[in-house]
Structure 1
Amino acid sequence: MATRKQKQFLPGQGYTKADWDAVSDAPEATDEQLAEARPFAEAFPDLAEAARRFRGPQRTPTKVPVSIRLSLDVVEYFKAGGPGWQARIDAVLRQALAGKAGVKD
Structure 2
Amino acid sequence: MAKPLPLTDADGEVRELTEDDFKHFKSFSSLPDELQAVLRGRGKQKAPTKVSTTVRFSPEVLAYFRSTGKGWQKRMDDALKEWLKEHTA
TM-score, normalization by structure 1: 0.44
How far 1:60 sits from its partner (Å)?
1.4
Equivalent pairs counted in the alignment come to 58
Match of residue 63 from structure 1: 50
Distance 2:59 2:42 in 1: 29
How far 1:55 sits from its partner (Å)?
4.0
Could you list the runs of 4 or more consecutive aligned residues of structure 1 that deviate by over 3 angstroms after TM superposition?
none
From the CA coordinates, give the structure whose radius of gyration is larger.
1
Identity, in percent, stands at 37
Match of residue 98 from structure 1: 85
Structure 2 residue aligned with 1:85, among 72, 79, 84? Answer: 72
1:7-22 map, 5 Å: none
Distance 1:86 1:72 in 2: 14
TM-score, normalization by structure 2: 0.51
Structure 2 residue aligned with 1:72, among 56, 59, 62? Answer: 59
Helix, strand or coil at the partner of 1:93: helix
Residue segments in structure 1 that go unaligned for 5+ positions in a row:
1-22, 30-38, 40-48
How far 1:58 sits from its partner (Å)?
1.7
Compute the RMSD of aligned alpha carbons: 3.4
Residue segments in structure 2 that go unaligned for 5+ positions in a row:
1-18, 25-30, 32-37
How far 1:56 sits from its partner (Å)?
2.9
